[in-house]
């Protein structure tokens, strides 16, 4: 067991050191969610002089057709290379150019079409995950009862069995919940 734990720690340290220092590929910045950055460009001496480089807004508003409303925008963007990947309250996934804030692509799973979630706060989604095999990158997100894999370059869904995209029907999920 001790050998397994040691191997796991070495693997995590190796992966963490391989990640570029200016990227944020996982929630919390690393696999340990330390929320620590080694970047030193912004510090106590210059933080007061920072100016906004760009701003982006979801543009999401209540949807009268489906009687839904977005909740508070709460997400932790992931940064890979010069791209920010994030999710919105309505479960959309957005890729932004980190230098300009320009939208590269957007994917809308249309989670609002199933109606308002019974949480009392509106739609809320807090983030996405990323994976790569070194050749291609995937962005994963859950949206209600769906696990969705997207091509990070295009935002198009990956529909192969290997990505484990699985959807449970609303009827079976209600049936399970009512038991």
- Provide the residue-wise pLDDT of the chain in tens; the chain has 179 residues: 444 333 333 333 434 444 565 776 776 667 777 667 777 788 889 999 999 999 999 999 999 999 888 887 778 888 899 999 999 988 899 999 999 999 999 999 998 998 888 877 777 777 898 988 889 999 998 888 888 999 999 999 998 744 343 443 444 444 444 33
60 assigned to some structural domain: no
Domain boundaries, position 83: 65-179
69 in a domain, yes or no? yes
SS3 content of the chain, % helix, strand, coil (to 5): 20, 25, 55
Nearest to 84 by CA among 108, 64, 56, 59: 56
74 is a domain residue: yes
The CATH number of whichever domain residue 113 belongs to comes to: 2.40.10.480
Phi-psi sector, 91: left (phi>0), alpha (psi -120 to 50), beta:
left
């Amino acid at each position: 067991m001790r050998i397994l734990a040691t191997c796991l720690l070495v693997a995590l340290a190796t992966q963490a050191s391989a990640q570029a220092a200016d990227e944020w590929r996982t929630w919390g910045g690393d696999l340990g969610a330390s929320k620590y950055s080694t970047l030193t460009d912004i510090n106590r001496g210059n933080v007061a002089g920072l100016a906004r480089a760009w701003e982006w807004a979801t543009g999401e508003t209540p949807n009268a057709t489906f009687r839904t409303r977005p909740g508070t925008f709460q997400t932790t963007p992931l940064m890979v290379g010069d791209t920010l990947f994030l999710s919105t309250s309505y479960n959309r996934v957005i890729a932004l150019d980190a230098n300009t804030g320009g939208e590269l692509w957007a994917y809308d799973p249309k989670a609002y079409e199933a109606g308002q979630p019974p949480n009392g706060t509106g739609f809320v989604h807090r983030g996405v995950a990323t994976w790569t095999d070194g050749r291609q990158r995937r962005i994963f997100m859950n949206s209600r009862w769906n696990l969705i894999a997207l091509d990070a370059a295009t935002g198009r869904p990956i529909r192969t069995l290997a990505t484990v995209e699985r959807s449970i029907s609303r009827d079976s999920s209600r049936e399970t919940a009512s038991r």
